[in-house]
Amino acid sequence: MSEVQKKAIVIGTGSGIGRALAFELSRDGYFVGLTGRDPEKLEKLRAELPGPSLVRQIDLRNTREAVHSLGNLIMQMQGMDLLVVNAGVLFHNSDLDWSLEEETIKVNVLGFAAMADVGCNYFLRRGKGTLAGISSVAGHRGSGRSPAYNASKAFMINYMEGLRQRLAATPIKVVDVRPGFVDTNMIRGRKGLFGVVSTEKAAGDILRAIKKGKRIAYVPGWWAVVMWFFKRLPESLYHFGYRKYIEWDTRPKPGQADRRLS
């Protein structure tokens, strides 16, 4: 590894966007830190990447251990230029099972904040760096089918805005990436989705947004226009339309299993 080689750590590379982003970064010349819950998946990914990488098991459900593990990985890699916090879970939980809401909050809220905090403190000591958080267009409105998920993405959006404010006088960049529908386990089997992109397409757009140092990046970019209108729908109209969609989406497939991504 060259001493001047760019270094990136991606939180959550076991599947989906994180896995595709690891390939994008590796092809772009980054030394990549791979993290996730499943060491076997990470080692398999490591063997497939074109460039050098390191593996570290990180489970965001235990923030204390996750903070310690990320700090160790940064030391093992002898620094980092970019931290991407991608890991998250989604449960369809209209029954409001607390165990599912709790896990979502632990991973998407506490886990995200913990990783972002470690990253920003490291970059402050270093004097430069980029934090990218993968939030979602879902963070703009609530969801009766997955209340904690949409709320967790709203937390991420707000938290990153606060970090940008905190770091405004520094060279450190905070990039809030808000994907729309990406072809992962989170959305497969749902009806009526539009503009679905591959994980490879999403990863390419994310890396371009990071390189440009954007504050907010919708993936694909046209989601910015869609969400401008969507956020302005009256709550009564939004709730009516959402309930009708859920009825239509679930009617043919009663008892459809919960989906998750980690």
pLDDT tens figures, 136-182: 999 999 999 999 999 999 999 999 999 999 999 999 999 999 999 99
Strand order across the 130-134 sheet? 53-57, 31-36, 7-11, 82-85, 130-134, 173-179, 216-219
Domain ranges of the chain: 7-250
pLDDT score at 260: 42
Read off the pLDDT of residues 66-123 as tens digits, 9 standing for 90 and up. Answer: 999 999 999 999 999 999 999 999 999 999 999 999 999 999 999 999 999 999 999 9
Does the pLDDT at position 262 exceed 50?
Answer: no
pLDDT score at 207: 98
* Alpha helix segments (H runs only) across 88-198: 98-104, 112-126, 147-166
Q: Are strands 82-85 and 53-57 parallel, antiparallel or unpaired?
A: unpaired
Cα distance between residue 141 and residue 233, in whole Å? 10
Provide Rg for the chain, Cα atoms.
18
| Residue range 19-24: mean pLDDT, rounded | 98
Q: What is the CATH number of domain 7-250?
A: 3.40.50.720
Q: Is 83 helix (H, G, I), strand (E, B) or coil?
A: strand
| Residue range 126-142: mean pLDDT, rounded | 97
Cα distance between residue 186 and residue 149, in whole Å? 11
